[in-house]
Amino acid sequence: MLADIGVGLIGTGFMGKCHALAYGSVKAVFGSVPTPRRLKLCDADAALGRLRAEEYGFAEAVTDWRAIIADPAIQLVSITTPNALHREMAEAALAAGKHVWCEKPMGLTLADAESMASVARVAGVRTSLAIITCAIP
């Protein structure tokens, strides 16, 4: 088992805060699991991103979500952006071999969700939607 897992967060609003708080509590709740390392978060507003990184316990803030996907130290990406942005971000993260925790709804349409599931299946990574965890076989 991994000793720790690098986490990137895309979106710093209410649900981003919820995800960040969850990562801070995962060891207390689940015990013997990898320790989440909150590495990068993304907000389009650089000043707000820096503030949220400090508040949420992330090491760094970026304004381009692609920097999170490109970072080899990040294995898990939380997506908490507006729903219309989920598909592009999730598919990029999945195709890069990252595990994804996507806030619900997964996509705007069934076609979006099916496409995202297909990319996850091919990549062989784990996904989570809101509080329901599943492995795509």
* Tokens 């990029």 belong to residue: 92
What is the per-residue pLDDT for 133?
Answer: 43
Q: Domain segments of the chain: what residues?
A: 4-135
**β-sheet with 126-129: strand ranges across:** 60-62, 35-42, 4-10, 76-79, 99-102, 126-129, 132-135
Fold classified for 4-135? Rossmann fold (3.40.50)
From the number of C-beta atoms within 10 Å of its C-beta (0-12, 13-18, 19+), residue 30 rates as: exposed
What is the per-residue pLDDT for 106?
Answer: 79
* pTM over cut 0.85: yes
What is the per-residue pLDDT for 116?
Answer: 87
What is the per-residue pLDDT for 130?
Answer: 57
For the record, the structure tokens of 134 come out as 């599943």
Q: What is the DSSP annotation of 50-92? A: HHHHHHHT-SEEES-THHHHH-TT--EEEE-S-GGGHHHHHHH
Mean pLDDT by 10 residues, the chain (137 residues): 90 93 90 93 98 97 98 97 94 95 85 88 80 45
Separation of alpha carbons 78 and 100, rounded Å: 6
What is the per-residue pLDDT for 1?
Answer: 61
